[in-house]
Structure 1
C-alpha cells in the first residue's frame, strides 16, 4: 500500500473510533443517571449513648435499616412489635449489627429492650 491509501483510511478510522467513544460515553452517562436515581436501600442507624441516630428515618416498602451498636460498653437491642410485622434482634453486642426490613407501609417504632427510652421512628411509604 502507498502512503496515500493509508492516509485515506485514517479519517474513516477516526470516525469509527469517535462513534465508538461517543457510544461508550453515552452508555456511561445513561448508567450513571440510572444509578443516581436508585433509592437508597441501606440506612445505617447508630445506637450510641442510649440513643438511636438518627431518631427518624423515611423508607420505601421493602427497604431496610442496619442498626449498628456503636457503644463500647453497652449491649443494645432493636425490636418492632406491630400488627403488620414483628422483629426482635436479641442482644446486639458492641460493634455488632442487626438488619430490619420493612415489608409494608406505615409508621413504626423501633425500640431498645435494654434502654426503654431509646426510640427510632421509621416512616415507610
Structure 2
C-alpha cells in the first residue's frame, strides 16, 4: 500500500454497513479516502476510468443485487493485469457460510474474507 493516505473502494448496498465501516475506519485511519458505491457495476466503471488515482484496498459485500461480490471479483479478475500491484481485494459478509469462505480462499484475486461489520481491529491489521 502507498505511504500516503490509503485510498479505499467500498462497495456495499447497505447504507448502515457503509456508515459503520467508515466510522470504524476513521478511528484507525482518519486520513483514508473512501470511494463508495452501492452497486458493483458502478465500481467497475470507476476502476476502468483512465487517469484515476490508484486504489489501495477494495472491500466488496458478497450479497448484493445485480452483481454480487463474487461476480465483481470475477470481473475484477478480468481487469487484474492492469490493476496488479495496486489494490488488494476483500469480500465482506455477515454470513458465516463455509462455502463463501471456501470460494474466497479459492478465488485468484480475492485476498481475504472480512466478517461484517468490519471491526477497527480488522481494519487496523489490513491497513
Greater relative CO (CA pairs within 8 A, separation 6+): 2
TM-score by length of 2: 0.29
Q: Which structure is higher in helix share?
A: 2
